[in-house]
Amino acid sequence: MLVIMRNGIDLTLVSSPGSELDEIARTLLVRCYPIPMARTPNPVRDLVSLARLTRFLIHGRFDIVHSSTPKAGLLTALAARIANVPVRIHTYTGQPWVELQGPIRRIARCSDRIVGLLDTHTYADSASQRMFLINEGLVEPAKISVLGAGSISGVDLSRFSLEKWGGNTADQTRCELGIPREATVIIFVGRLTKDKGICELVRAFEWLGARSNHVHLVLVGPLEPERDPLPAETMSRLRNGHRIHNVGFSLAPEKYLAAADIFCLPSYREGFGSVVIEAAAMELPAVVTRITGLVDSVVEGVTGLIVQPKNACDLGHALQTLIDSDQLRRSLGRAGRKRVVQNFDAVLVNGSVVAEYFRLLYIARPGRCC
């Protein structure tokens, strides 16, 4: 965001109201405008949001509108088309409907197609996701691109840094969690939901724990009982599991990443998986599932291991492979950090977004750019 502002772009951020939006406005001094947008389908509230967003875009006379997330993407595509914004773009960051069934799946899938039709151009945050959207017939090949090596915003290397969070700081974090210094720590960062593979991760960890008393699991992220509740059996294992440390939501996941040895994201569906490259920046090898998006965030056998989704046995064996070899963990971790520095530095990624803004605006209005 700072990269965008420093390149002479007058930026306005529109989002649902809340503490996070207030924090962005306060810390980055960017103009923010709150418009409530329900995360789940709600025809009445969605029409109100659409009307407010349309009026805002007409009044603001914007040159470019850029959306992300499914609901915001649909509302913005409709509102920006009505407001006749010349450059209307959207970044797809994963398809929640992949794991859904019935009418909700069809509606969500149709929404992605409408976005692809109404916007002047779209982006995917990974190459495999671009091909998935094309193969599903949701976006024409000429209307969807991937910037650079992918990801939506890259990694802030000054924030995700072992120089800042490693060493004695990491030892202190382990002490706070009650984890011995010599233990092997597996970490998950994200929502604690079924579609993130938490059920399989807990079962795999129980298998690992039966083989060794020196393995710990750290979970960083919130439960979402209203949207995707975990089964009662899994919740019981989380509450009572020996050596399972449930941290909850954190504004500083890098603190816990620095105290870990292995990163794991056994998701059923995902976008690029920004947290994977954030973990890689902290020199953590990753174990992820072979799904659209995640296959682009890990180079198999180079920066991590890839297993089949929804398979606790495969997951456990991959984690055991890394637990058994300090040398392999270090090798994959160093390669992951090197890949992030080369391809996913936030300055590089956001700089490519700025260049794309100017390119698209020149095509739409040649007289506005030089």
Same domain, 170 and 251: yes
What's the total number of domains in the chain? 2
CA-to-CA separations, 6 to 11, 135, 184, 350, in angstroms, rounded: 10, 38, 42, 11
8 Å CB contact between 280 and 339 = yes
Same domain, 29 and 177: no
Same domain, 197 and 330: yes
Same domain, 295 and 319: yes
Same domain, 105 and 194: no
Cβ neighbors of 211 (< 8 A, separation 6 or more) are 320
User: Residue 175: what residue type?
Assistant: C
Q: What's residue 318's pLDDT?
A: 98
β-bridge pairing 87-92 and 286-289: unpaired
Same domain, 125 and 173: no
What pairs with residue 145 in β-bridges? 123
Same domain, 267 and 320: yes
Same domain, 47 and 100: yes
8 Å CB contact between 157 and 366 = no
Q: What's residue 6's pLDDT?
A: 53
Q: Give me the CATH number covering residue 125.
A: 3.40.50.2000
Q: What's residue 77's pLDDT?
A: 97
* DSSP 3-state of 317: helix
Same domain, 16 and 147: yes
Dig out the tokens for 2 from the structure: 């700072």
pTM: 0.90
Same domain, 115 and 201: no
Q: What's residue 277's pLDDT?
A: 97
Strands (E), the chain: 12-15, 31-34, 64-68, 87-92, 121-124, 144-145, 184-189, 215-220, 244-246, 262-265, 286-289, 304-307
Question: pLDDT tens per residue, the chain (370 residues)?
Answer: 444 445 667 889 999 998 888 887 787 778 899 999 987 778 899 999 999 999 999 999 999 999 998 999 999 999 999 999 999 999 999 888 888 889 989 999 999 999 999 999 999 999 999 999 999 999 999 999 999 999 999 999 999 999 999 999 999 999 999 999 999 999 999 999 999 999 999 999 999 999 988 999 999 999 988 878 899 999 999 988 889 999 999 989 999 999 999 999 999 999 898 999 999 999 999 999 999 999 999 999 999 999 999 999 999 999 999 999 999 999 999 999 999 999 999 999 999 999 999 999 888 776 555 4
Q: What domain range is 271 assigned to?
A: 162-343
Same domain, 206 and 336: yes
8 Å CB contact between 262 and 284 = yes
d(CA 121, CA 90): 7
Q: What's residue 7's pLDDT?
A: 60
Q: What's residue 225's pLDDT?
A: 86
Same domain, 25 and 66: yes
For residue 228, what is the DSSP state? S
Q: What's residue 8's pLDDT?
A: 66
